Structure 1
Amino acid sequence: MCIRYSLAKNKEDLEKRFNAEMLEPFQARYNIAPTQLVPVITSDSPGGFSHFYWGVTPAFAKNKPVSQKLINVRSETIAEKASYMNAFHKKRCLIPADGFYAWKKVGKRTEIPYRFISHKEEPFAFAGIWDEYETEKGEIEHTFLILTTSANRSVSEIHDRMPVILAIEDEATWLNKAASQPDLLSILRPYPDDNMRGYPVSPMVNHVANDSPYVIRKTLPMDQFGNYTLFG
């Protein structure tokens, strides 16, 4: 599962890394949350960044029975579910990020947030699917979901699921509209454990309004109430 992530890079870094043009202004993001408008790269327009909303909400959908908190989709079943089949085959996207958060439960009332990044602290891309919906005002909004997979060894100590992070060489395949289903499914795997590290961060990340460099800094493990804990 993925409910928060970061993209603490500037526009120029992202354009260079993904070889795509970003026409709209962008400021580094440290605490991206569902329903927010963020950059993605779609299979329809692989040479540029688009800005889509993360997740599907009833406010976007007109005469569609959609979930209020639909933000992730399991990669293991994406090709089997009718609700995702069209997007899986025709509307795939890359979701640029440089870290994601997971919460470690260490008691009934204690959860410690961790941030996971690549060893080189470089940007990477989640595998995603996107769609468009007509609002009640008749406007078209674009949304995306993040694909998840089983956790690698590092993340499994915190949570049993993680976002699908594509290998750089697989990003073009994910955006290729002619790619076969077996080829697509073969790249939806856990990110290599030896390419990733995680560390505890402040429980300030629990609050969406906290979107500053402070939330990505390594801290002593604290619970959601700000109390230091012995669990690391």
Structure 2
Amino acid sequence: MMVVAGETQPEGSNLPDRKSILVRWGFIPSWVKDPNSWPLMINMRSETAVQKNSFRIAMNHFRALVPASGFYEWRKVDKNKRQAYWIRPRKGGVVAFGALMETWSGTDGSQVDTGGLLTTQANKTLKPIHDRMPVVIKPEDFGRWLDCKHYLPHEVEDLMQPVEDDFFEAIPVSDKVNHVANITPDIQERVEEDLAPQKSEPKQKKKTDNGDDSGGQLSMF
């Protein structure tokens, strides 16, 4: 679900100036001819979003917010192991991530609303886990971020910065979160952080034709 600016309302209207919509996860620019040939773009770098052709229309007309209680991230321990974290606001509550959306239209008249998150460099708290993090838009900046009519992209660039170092807390969780079938609350329970590299299985020595297991070297015994 994404929150976007509503239609401009007449003065004195009680209608909301924001609305929530469901979108297909994975941003597709409206000019793409074949969405099957377009990569699944769920994260977009905020540093280049203003200039890049793929996001120019959305940055000018379709900025959005994604409400969430937190997000998951994985820290690479070695090539075979990753530690999962549940990352949430330290003070609790819901956070709003900066996002972009756009409606893709097919030649048959079909339309699909699509969207994805904007990311920025990780702050000091999250950098040991991953070098990127979602853009956080504070409540006092919701209006400016969503108001594409009065605020151009370069006028909201200052909002696409890493959030304060103490805003989030990272809670190590079990690898249950790695399986989409696991949806019970226990996937967010804290576990002991395991950053020890995974031990590799010892390699089996090759046996020679005479049954020697010394790796091909002649045995003295």
Give 1:214's aligned residue.
186
- The 1:193/1:158 distance shift into structure 2, 3 A limit, reads same
SS of the residue 1:197 aligns to: strand
- The 1:103/1:64 distance shift into structure 2, 3 A limit, reads closer
Residue among 21, 31, 39 paired with 1:50: 21
Tell me how far 1:172 sits from its aligned partner.
1.4
Count of residue pairs the alignment pairs up = 185
Separation (CA, whole Å) in 2 of partners of 1:202 and 1:93 = 32
Give 1:150's aligned residue.
121
SS of the residue 2:166 aligns to: helix
**Please, which runs of 5 or more residues in structure 1 have no aligned partner?**
1-38, 223-228
Larger gyration radius, structure 1 or structure 2: 2
Q: Is the Cα contact below 8 Å between 2:6 and 2:18 reproduced in 1?
A: no
The letter for the 2-side match of 1:42 is V
Tell me how far 1:132 sits from its aligned partner.
1.0
Tell me how far 1:135 sits from its aligned partner.
4.9
| Residue 189 (structure 1) aligned with residue 158 (structure 2) | no
Q: Is the Cα contact below 8 Å between 2:27 and 2:102 reproduced in 1?
A: no
- Over 6 Å off, 4+ runs: none
Give 1:175's aligned residue.
146
Residue among 71, 74, 80 paired with 1:109: 80
The letter for the 1-side match of 2:62 is K
Instruction: Report the more deviating stretch, 205-214 or 125-134.
Output: 205-214
TM score, norm. by length of structure 2? 0.76
Residues 127-146 of structure 1 show CA distances to partners (whole Å, capped at 9, x for unaligned) of: 00001123576421111110
Q: Is the Cα contact below 8 Å between 2:68 and 2:95 reproduced in 1?
A: yes
Residues 27-71 of structure 1 show CA distances to partners (whole Å, capped at 9, x for unaligned) of: xxxxxxxxxxxx1101246432211121147xxx75357533211
**Please, which runs of 5 or more residues in structure 2 have no aligned partner?**
8-16, 198-221
The letter for the 1-side match of 2:86 is R
Q: How does 1:58-207 map to 2 (within 5 A)?
A: 62-64=33-35, 66-135=37-106, 138-177=109-148, 178-207=150-179
Give the percent of matched residue pairs that are identical in Structure 1 and Structure 2: 32
Separation (CA, whole Å) in 2 of partners of 1:66 and 1:187 = 32
Separation (CA, whole Å) in 1 of partners of 2:21 and 2:146 = 14
SS of the residue 1:155 aligns to: coil
Tell me how far 1:210 sits from its aligned partner.
2.1
Q: Is the Cα contact below 8 Å between 2:137 and 2:159 reproduced in 1?
A: yes
State the Cα RMSD in Å. 2.3
Give 2:2's aligned residue.
40
Q: Is the Cα contact below 8 Å between 1:56 and 1:66 reproduced in 2?
A: no
Separation (CA, whole Å) in 2 of partners of 1:198 and 1:211 = 19
The letter for the 2-side match of 1:192 is E
